[in-house]
Amino acid sequence: MPFCDLNTDVKPWLGIPVSNTEYDSVLTIFRDSVEAAVLSYVETEFTLTPITNEILDSNGSDTIVPRNSPIVSVQAIYTAVESDGSGGNLLDTSHYRVDTDGITLRAINQPRGRFYVRVDYTYGYDGLPPEVKHAILMSIDAEFIRKNKKTVGGGVTSRSKKDESESLGASGGAGWDTKVGLPLEAIAKLQTYKQSFEFPTQPMATRNF
């Protein structure tokens, strides 16, 4: 199901009356291709996903970093589990604090070396963030201009030597990254939501793959 509705989102953004159906077909194509490009770029699904029995090597750390983020909620944490996730001690919710990218354990009556940790949690987004929707609408608008479907402004005015980027006409704003398939201005808005698999530089519970 598309994130942006043609009549309630796309046309109002472009200033096209809902009653004007002249561009419906091409706008549908642009919307679908832009949304696919955005999802491909951020490598993130904007839904809530539950994870059960994720096993992490505690590494003697008081910070747990699950494999997926942003963390929305934590259902259970077990410390001192076996490598297969069995056994362990269920932590009371008062014994940890949840942030979007990690879980900090508070002082608990257990030795610092907690062996393996088992975590049940939910991560993701409860719907499309407004900034991502904004980037999609900006990209559809830029694509509309780029293909010379608007009478205001112009289409592509210049391209780099290797055709990696373009500049749009007067009303097109910033340049265009043709490899990603999105305007540079939209890409800048998506950086926060681009999935990263880099390991933290400070000592934290490591991901056990």
Examine residue 52 and state whether it is found in any structural domain, yes or no. Answer: yes
Examine residue 203 and state whether it is found in any structural domain, yes or no. Answer: no
Query: What percentage of the chain carries pLDDT values higher than 90?
Result: 49
> Do 120 and 51 form a contact (C-beta atoms < 8 A)?
yes
Helix or strand run (H / E) with residue 30: helix 24-42
Q: Is 149's pLDDT higher than 80?
A: no
Boundaries of domain holding 185: 6-45+129-193
pLDDT of the residue at 196:
58
Ranking 26-30, 123-127, 163-167 by mean pLDDT, the lowest is: 163-167
Last residue of a domain, one of 91, 124, 157: 124
More confident residue, 172 or 55: 55
pLDDT band at 77 (very low <50, low <70, confident <90, very high): very high
The whole-number average pLDDT for the span 36-61 is 90
More confident residue, 20 or 155: 20
The whole-number average pLDDT for the span 181-205 is 71
Examine residue 201 and state whether it is found in any structural domain, yes or no. Answer: no
What predicted TM-score, i.e. pTM, was given to this entire model? 0.69
CB atoms inside a 10 Å sphere around CB 94 = 8
Looking at the fold, whether 28 and 61 belong to one and the same domain comes out as: no
The average confidence (pLDDT) of the chain is 80
pLDDT of the residue at 207:
41
How many domains is the chain partitioned into structurally? 2
Last residue of a domain, one of 124, 154, 178: 124
> Do 203 and 59 form a contact (C-beta atoms < 8 A)?
yes
Tens of pLDDT, residues 105-118: 886 555 444 578 99
Looking at the fold, whether 143 and 113 belong to one and the same domain comes out as: no
pLDDT of the residue at 151:
38
Looking at the fold, whether 170 and 114 belong to one and the same domain comes out as: no
| Backbone torsions φ then ψ of 78, nearest 5 degrees | -115, 130
Q: Is 82's pLDDT higher than 70?
A: yes
> Do 48 and 124 form a contact (C-beta atoms < 8 A)?
yes
Examine residue 79 and state whether it is found in any structural domain, yes or no. Answer: yes
> Do 74 and 87 form a contact (C-beta atoms < 8 A)?
no
Looking at the fold, whether 140 and 153 belong to one and the same domain comes out as: yes
